[in-house]
Structure 1
């Protein structure tokens, strides 16, 4: 139902757009602001961006404009075809709507069928590697998930208290920090000024855990992990958390993106890129051999990766093929055994239903980044990473274009 308040807000936004058009030429930033003020009329928002030449802009502004145009065009298609708000939560109307939502969150180059095939191939690869490590450790089970469950609650993998878990994370951070230049290239020294931190008294009182403070040139950054249920956080699962949340993951990508100051519309239409970088960072650490002497830590990494692949496959199957929640849950149990700490199976599946194509977009961003990195080493790989990090996030098709030009 359209309320009077919504009509008034829409009228004010259209009036703003009219003033913007009358006042041209205006800055791209102002035009993007005006476009963002028209969330229920993506066609009108798109028209505001028609007169700008990409070639006259800097690289960050190019990304702002290109990303906004691509996302708004898809939103216009969703509104015209399905008469729904593209930002609304809840299940899509049908598979065609779901496919558009995937393009909205990832890029115009995505093919849902090919994406599912690629994800399944990666799941099988990771499961085979995990099963080989389980065999080496003498851990038996009917499938990969059962083997993870057999390992999960072993008392020797339990931390005695949160301080011990935090100290272990910072120990792994000290291992990873000097490898950052080799893993992703040179980054500003202040990006490395990070730590796994304990919660404050206020955090504990408000049950506020699992959050980041990004580093800046003048302030250190950190990650406050949620360590309330230590029994559900076996020690071998935390090294990959360090790679993802700290270095070379979010504490490299997100601060550099903040410095590039992307427009909010770019954040809206490439939402999974940051998580994709974190997943990619986990793999960079594993592939570099930092877990070579610790097969348990590698298993922890593989469990996180199987979790993210599994929820992406579930996202596609639920919304494109009508898979039942019960069958999706059974698949996740078979693939990973135990849920991720913050994503119990039933709660995570309910969230996937309400946020279609979000989880698929995140993992597919990681695979897109990995595709661009393939067969690059040394300076060539470092240059590729700079293209990804220098100006902030981008959609998958733009990522592929820029990768080809490196």
Structure 2
């Protein structure tokens, strides 16, 4: 493979980064320099270096940078204790990349409840489609092999898949303003295409390209093994990878240019937003047919299953084989880009990441106003300043209201 998904994204992010930090005041510039210094220091020394800074004279972005840095550095300081029990260490690790609102008990409860709700929602949908099986996973396996929803494994089948994704994107565009608000034009200048022959030959994974002046952005989808991508799996991919997912969040973050310390200590937000975008479009009725709804549920079970495997392995000492068996029983089919064994190995090597990414969308859903008329302002508050920690959502909403009052 010539480039991994993460390597491609790092290159894109570097290309989109503003060459010189847009800082509006001397206080902003001083705060940025102090944060740069703190990023090179151990937690205690970094916190001491930031102790004298106040919010006075700082713009919204720098205030969020400073607060995220302090919170994350305190999490890092706690994690230096070698005597932490596994459950306490894991809780701090999740908190470090999501925010101070998470506890292990809350995370475990929310993930379990989400999985229960998803499997309960899937059962009548399988029944409507006449797909039986002893477990939810077995029913998904049968659905994957049903010829009603498989693309032909040739050029015409791949063209049909891309056309279907473009049609989904067009449908989402009509709903965006009422859900997200007025996105910058660059976020909307995105499309979808399949990997070309050279990329397929090089074993390239699907990847994103961020829009830039004169450059259209979008998602390049891997359809090399199209037999593993039934048409009902693709609408949720569009919501996650394009709009209102990563093509809303990532370009806006590039414009906001948060400090690297905020990126470090709100690391779960970007993927969490992509998953949240899928949930949002489900709430808005995008996945209308039983099979499309099942495709969305399968993606959500994948995210939740990863999070629960993360907890099971690192907190409860479950073996990788057991964790893999649990995911297989629930999902039946692995995600296209994440075979079960490969995914479990990643979870073993990187504790708390998948749990944080799976829990954050549940938190964002719970924090969302009940009044749909307030959703655009809520979502703009989450996106405008770049990724944020959960305890910063209220401050971001306040800043968004201040902008709208001007």
TM-score range, shorter chain: 0.7 to 0.9
**Residue 194 of structure 2 aligns to a residue in which SS?**
coil
Alpha-carbon deviations, 1:319-343, whole Å to 9, x = none? 1111222221221112111111111
- Structure 1 residue 202, shift from structure 2 partner: 5.1
- Structure 1 residue 306, shift from structure 2 partner: 0.7
Please name the residue that 2:312 is paired with.
Answer: 317
- Structure 1 residue 401, shift from structure 2 partner: 5.6
How far apart, in 1, do the equivalents of 2:234 and 2:161 lie? 8
- Structure 1 residue 198, shift from structure 2 partner: 3.0
- Provide closer, same or farther for how the CA distance between residues 244 and 27 of structure 1 changes in structure 2, counting only shifts above 3 A: same
Please name the residue that 2:82 is paired with.
Answer: 82
How far apart, in 1, do the equivalents of 2:311 and 2:337 lie? 21
Alpha-carbon deviations, 1:15-70, whole Å to 9, x = none? xxxxxxxxx997111111111223xx121122221111124311111111111111
Please name the residue that 1:62 is paired with.
Answer: 63
Alpha-carbon deviations, 1:246-267, whole Å to 9, x = none? 0111101110011000111111
User: Structure 1 stretches of 5 or more lacking a match?
Assistant: 1-23, 84-91
- Provide closer, same or farther for how the CA distance between residues 128 and 65 of structure 1 changes in structure 2, counting only shifts above 3 A: same
Number of matched residues? 370
- 1:131-170 residue pairs with structure 2 within 5 A? 131-160=123-152, 161=154, 162-170=158-166
How far apart, in 1, do the equivalents of 2:365 and 2:394 lie? 11
- Provide closer, same or farther for how the CA distance between residues 205 and 143 of structure 1 changes in structure 2, counting only shifts above 3 A: closer
How far apart, in 1, do the equivalents of 2:332 and 2:55 lie? 48
Structure 2 length as normaliser, TM-score? 0.86
Structure 1 length as normaliser, TM-score? 0.86
- Structure 1 residue 403, shift from structure 2 partner: 5.3
**Residues 195 and 206 in structure 2, CA contact (< 8 A), matched pair in contact too:** no
Q: Which moved more, 1:175-184 or 1:193-202?
A: 193-202
Please name the residue that 1:385 is paired with.
Answer: 379
- 1:242-391 residue pairs with structure 2 within 5 A? 242-292=238-288, 294-378=289-373, 380-391=374-385
**Residues 235 and 287 in structure 2, CA contact (< 8 A), matched pair in contact too:** no
Alignment match of 1:232 (pick from 228, 233, 239): 228
CA-atom RMSD in angstroms: 2.0
How far apart, in 2, do the equivalents of 1:309 and 1:25 lie? 39
**Residues 315 and 356 in structure 1, CA contact (< 8 A), matched pair in contact too:** yes
How far apart, in 1, do the equivalents of 2:214 and 2:76 lie? 40
Alpha-carbon deviations, 1:60-112, whole Å to 9, x = none? 11111111111111112222x129xxxxxxxx972222221111111122110
Alpha-carbon deviations, 1:204-243, whole Å to 9, x = none? 4533231111123543111111111111111110110000
Please name the residue that 2:15 is paired with.
Answer: none
User: Structure 2 stretches of 5 or more lacking a match?
Assistant: 1-26, 402-406
- Provide closer, same or farther for how the CA distance between residues 116 and 221 of structure 1 changes in structure 2, counting only shifts above 3 A: same
How far apart, in 2, do the equivalents of 1:130 and 1:400 lie? 34
- Do residues 394 (structure 1) and 395 (structure 2) align? no
**Residues 195 and 223 in structure 2, CA contact (< 8 A), matched pair in contact too:** no
**Residues 253 and 274 in structure 1, CA contact (< 8 A), matched pair in contact too:** yes
**Residue 227 of structure 1 aligns to a residue in which SS?**
coil
Please name the residue that 2:19 is paired with.
Answer: none
Alpha-carbon deviations, 1:155-207, whole Å to 9, x = none? 23222232222222112111211211122122123311111123356534533
**Residues 187 and 248 in structure 2, CA contact (< 8 A), matched pair in contact too:** yes
Please name the residue that 1:191 is paired with.
Answer: 187
**Residues 42 and 75 in structure 1, CA contact (< 8 A), matched pair in contact too:** yes
How far apart, in 2, do the equivalents of 1:56 and 1:363 lie? 36
